[in-house]
Chain A
Amino acid sequence: MGETASKLRVPAVEGWFTIDDNPALVGNRCTSCGTVFFPKASNFCRNPDCSGDAFEDTELSRSGRIWSFTDAQYQPPPPYIPHTDPYVPFALAAVELEAEQMVVLGQIADGFGVADLSVGAKVDLVIETLYSDDEKEYVVYRWKPAAAEVSS
């Protein structure tokens, strides 16, 4: 792949997640009604009964349970940027976060496919490379099957 360890790791989108050792999605919470948003809400709370317009950032649960899952057998069209040539299919899961009472869609970690997934199974948040160019690796949040976390 020609990648070197010195490539700068930068988030593929600014402000959606942390990329330290204990990564987390970063959403925000309406200071009036407590509703959580991911991606972050801005300016106005979307709860129809709340006129809140102030938010505080909040890190979301790092684990959740699979609400449903699928994969992408064919390379998605741009602006998706494939990380490999030839294209390698990847899986996706919609994951229920209990504390936030919301479902967050994400890709599944490299090396796992639909055969490794089931509705209700636990997954953990990880940060992995989405695509790269000559100078940088652009990273994104992904869901990794929790059982595999132990064995790997």
Chain B
Amino acid sequence: MSADVVVAGVGMHPWGKWGRNFVEYGVAAARVALADAGVAWRDVQLVSGADTMRNGYPGYVSGATFAQALGWTGARVASSYAACASGATALEVARAEILAGRCEVALVVGADTTPKGFLAPNAGDRPDDPDWLRFRLLGATNPTYFALYARRRMALYGATEEDFALVRAKNGRHGLDNPNARYRKAFTVEEILDSAMVADPLRLLEICATSDGGAAVVLTSADWAAKHGVAKPVAVRAVSTVTPAFPQTVIEMPNFSTDSGVAVPDAVMPFKSAIAHAAYEEAGIGPEDLSLAEVYDLSSALELDWYEDIGLCKAGEAERLLHDGDTTIGGRIPVNPSGGLACFGEAVPAQALAQVCEVVWQLRGQAGARQVEGATAGITANQGLFGHGSSVLLAI
């Protein structure tokens, strides 16, 4: 059933710090995706927007904002917010509408314009909002949480700062020729370790920046794609949007604490593992069948956690996978061939869609210098603030 929806086209507006209105990036990406699919804007029956919280009201109703900018056609509309998972949630809304038979052609768009520096909470005193309180009471920025995971990995598995820098160096090489990447520069391990410490043990070059950017995906039913001669359709085999299971025993942004395990035994599976597991279950495709993965490297160290969470190796083996070159292009299972967040920076509502764009290009054999040879299946994985899982499994 799940192969009944295909990606017909993808498009991006290059990531950067352009300082223009987010709508411009979204519309540009949408037009590229529509042209890529060979779909006319008037043929789109549903616009599904991934919202941005930092661009005023138009960002909260992004589906309508993009639809109006493209020119009202009467298409149906949805707008989704799920923090970093917004793109996947918007994609799932579109997929569900197609699977339900309510439409055949949907356009999914996410775009953002971001301020400089740390992502800070929205303005105004909100002493009952944990995202506001963690800044006020603890000065706990997003890198604080990334660093806690990194330091924990060092204590549990003997990971080193050099291992983390090696991840960053790999992604820098991967993204070198990616025309949509913001940072196209290769760094040596030494250069990375020389960059300023931000949140010990993570350094400036190892923590993803915030970026402007836009990404769009055209989804159609497989029947529609066949009927209209869509070239190289890529099947959406699964979308996972699961939540954590109680008690969640890993401290998660923006929380002050984990759930308590006194009354209920630990969850069978940690949240990040459950995200990918749900995608594998739906797709009937396992980690051993993957050609590549695009995971959310909010920090260099976090990419290593993802290797284990998406089942590329057992817990504690990620460093070996990295050192063996398995996750480098040309290796057994390249991870972040796009260059990942290290080369893009995060454009929140566009990022999960950008991951999908990369996998689609890889599966079509259109990824240029960063092509993973013979790619047939790829997974994306990320996690939105407060517990929004996000994983998309694509295959040809």
A-to-B contact residues, CB < 8 Å: 12-13, 30, 33-39, 46-50, 67-81, 90-92, 94, 99-107, 114, 118-120, 130, 140
* Assembled-state Cα–Cα distance A35/B247 (Å): 10
Measured between beta carbons, the chain A residues less than 8 angstroms from B255 are 105
* Assembled-state Cα–Cα distance A71/B141 (Å): 10
Measured between beta carbons, the chain B residues less than 8 angstroms from A79 are 121, 125, 132, 135-136
User: B33 CB to closest chain A CB, in angstroms?
Assistant: 34
Segment touching A, from B13-21, B96-104, B148-156, B279-287: B148-156
A69 and B197 within 8 A (CB): no
* Assembled-state Cα–Cα distance A35/B259 (Å): 9
B257 and A68 within 8 A (CB): no
B260 and A72 within 8 A (CB): no
| Interface-central residue, A33, A35, A130, by most chain B CB under 10 Å | A35
16 A–B contacts from the bound complex (CB under 8 Å)? A13-B127, A33-B264, A35-B262, A38-B256, A47-B263, A48-B246, A68-B149, A72-B140, A73-B198, A76-B139, A79-B135, A80-B135, A90-B139, A103-B251, A105-B251, A120-B155
B198 and A100 within 8 A (CB): no
* Assembled-state Cα–Cα distance A80/B257 (Å): 19
Given contacts A73-B199, A92-B144, A102-B258, contact A130 B137 (CB under 8 A): yes
Measured between beta carbons, the chain B residues less than 8 angstroms from A30 are 263
* Assembled-state Cα–Cα distance A76/B143 (Å): 10
**What are the interface flags for B117-137 relative to A under an 8 Å C-beta threshold, 1 for contact and 0 otherwise?**
110110001010010111111
Given contacts A34-B263, A67-B251, A92-B144, contact A78 B120 (CB under 8 A): yes
Q: Decide yes or no whether B329 CB sits under 8 A from chain A.
A: no
Given contacts A103-B249, A119-B151, contact A35 B138 (CB under 8 A): no
Measured between beta carbons, the chain B residues less than 8 angstroms from A72 are 139-141, 144, 199
A33 and B263 within 8 A (CB): yes
> Which of A33, A77, A104, A119 contacts B256, CB < 8 Å?
A104
Q: Decide yes or no whether B196 CB sits under 8 A from chain A.
A: yes
Measured between beta carbons, the chain A residues less than 8 angstroms from B261 are 101-102
User: A60 CB to closest chain B CB, in angstroms?
Assistant: 9
A69 and B151 within 8 A (CB): yes
| Number of interface residues, chain B, beta carbon within 8 A | 46
A68 and B152 within 8 A (CB): yes
Q: Decide yes or no whether B373 CB sits under 8 A from chain A.
A: no
B256 and A105 within 8 A (CB): yes
> Which of A46, A75, A107 contacts B259, CB < 8 Å?
A46
Which residue of chain B has its CB nearest to the CB of A33?
A: B263
Main secondary structure of the interface of A (DSSP, over half): loop
Which residue of chain A has its CB nearest to the CB of B123?
A: A78
User: B264 CB to closest chain A CB, in angstroms?
Assistant: 6
> Which of B139, B196, B264 contacts A49, CB < 8 Å?
B264
> Which of B133, B138, B246, B262 contacts A100, CB < 8 Å?
B262
Which residue of chain B has its CB nearest to the CB of A90?
A: B139
* Assembled-state Cα–Cα distance A102/B136 (Å): 22
User: B238 CB to closest chain A CB, in angstroms?
Assistant: 24
Given contacts A12-B136, A47-B246, A92-B138, contact A102 B259 (CB under 8 A): yes
Given contacts A81-B136, A102-B260, contact A68 B148 (CB under 8 A): yes
A70 and B199 within 8 A (CB): yes
Measured between beta carbons, the chain B residues less than 8 angstroms from A38 are 256-257
B117 and A35 within 8 A (CB): no
Which residue of chain B has its CB nearest to the CB of A52?
A: B263
Measured between beta carbons, the chain B residues less than 8 angstroms from A91 are 200
A80 and B199 within 8 A (CB): no
User: A138 CB to closest chain B CB, in angstroms?
Assistant: 9
A80 and B198 within 8 A (CB): no
Measured between beta carbons, the chain A residues less than 8 angstroms from B262 are 34-36, 99-101
Docked complex: B216-270 residues within 8 A CB-CB of A: 246-247, 249, 251, 255-264
Which residue of chain B has its CB nearest to the CB of A83?
A: B139
* Assembled-state Cα–Cα distance A37/B257 (Å): 9
Given contacts A38-B257, A46-B259, A102-B259, contact A107 B138 (CB under 8 A): yes
A140 and B260 within 8 A (CB): no
Q: Given A46-B246, A68-B152, 19 more contacts at CB 8 Å? A: A13-B137, A30-B263, A34-B262, A36-B262, A39-B256, A48-B246, A67-B148, A69-B148, A70-B147, A76-B140, A77-B117, A77-B135, A78-B135, A90-B139, A92-B148, A102-B258, A102-B261, A103-B251, A118-B155
User: B270 CB to closest chain A CB, in angstroms?
Assistant: 13
B155 and A68 within 8 A (CB): yes
Measured between beta carbons, the chain A residues less than 8 angstroms from B198 are 73-74
* Assembled-state Cα–Cα distance A13/B127 (Å): 8
Which residue of chain B has its CB nearest to the CB of A81?
A: B136
User: B246 CB to closest chain A CB, in angstroms?
Assistant: 5
Measured between beta carbons, the chain B residues less than 8 angstroms from A39 are 130, 256-257
* Assembled-state Cα–Cα distance A39/B155 (Å): 27
B152 and A67 within 8 A (CB): yes
Measured between beta carbons, the chain B residues less than 8 angstroms from A94 are 148, 251
Which residue of chain B has its CB nearest to the CB of A70?
A: B147
